Copies of this chain bind each other. A is one copy, B any other.
Amino acid sequence: MKTYFAESDFQLYLADVLDALDEIPAESVDVIFADPPYNLSNGGITCRSGRMVSVNKGEWDVSRGVETDYDFHKQWIVKCRKILKENGTIWISGTYHSIYACGFALQTSGYQIINDICWYKPNAPPNLSTKYFTASHETLLWARKSTKSRHKFNYNLMKSRDWNGDQLKIPGKQMRSVWSIPSPKPEEKTQGKHPTQKPIKLLSRVILSSSDVGDLILDPFTGSSTTGLVAVANGRRFIGIDNNSDFLDLSIRRYKEMKAASEVP
């Protein structure tokens, strides 16, 4: 595994995620944020090392695809548990296509789910099919290594902020498990497109609620590294993994742009 980019607070690895996770020291990471790919076995996505093969054998084999996806999720989730500190926590985001496999994998791997968060998108696009409810949320899972862990939660910070514009946050009251945050607007994607780019407001809540300044944050499916930008902007250190160098190049541009902007006197 080769380091693709390295500054003291921002490191990127170009690698298969399962390989890269083997290289991270055990018990070294404070918080993991993971936005794994959806529908692996339908999209023909393949992982290296023969661990994951593309399957798309028709409708009769739907459950085979589901279980192949599960095997992959189980593998990276187990590896993440090894590199997480005793009191560290993991976040996983997804829609119903992947989140049930991931949640179940967490629970069968010894993690304890602390919260599941419903991220409500008030600007979700309308549904053209008229055959179901308009999908307008994603789920975030937040889990700790075990029931014995003493995980970190910045309770007062979460409670006191009004989280500008969240219609569900009652000022001065506790932050709840349903968050109203718009999907990223085009102007936030200044450096190009990423299929599932998450809004900065969402990652800010994740990072600020569950880590402190100086903590080490890992994103195993980093993409354009919104997680890393938010981490660094808030004084955390970041490691990102991706198997696509285009996304990592985009990550580097975004990182440098942010650093340049913060050096303005």
Contact = CB atoms under 8 A, between A and B. Distances in A.
Interface of A: 59, 62-63, 66-67, 70, 95-97, 99-104, 106-110, 112-118, 120, 124, 126-127, 130-137, 139, 141-142, 146-148, 151, 153, 155, 158, 167-168, 173-178, 209
Given A66-B107, A100-B107, A120 B174 contact: no
Given A96-B116, A101-B107, A104-B70, A176 B63 contact: no
Contacts of A127: 174
A63 to B, nearest CB: 5
Per DSSP, chain A at the interface is mixed
B136 A177 contact: yes
A133 B175 contact: yes
Contact of A136 (B142, B176, B209): B176
Nearest to A118: B118
A151 B131 contact: yes
B155 A130 contact: yes
B118 A96 contact: no
A118 B146 CA distance: 26
A155 B101 CA distance: 29
Given A100-B107, A116-B139, 7 more contacts: A59-B147, A63-B108, A63-B109, A99-B103, A100-B100, A133-B174, A133-B177
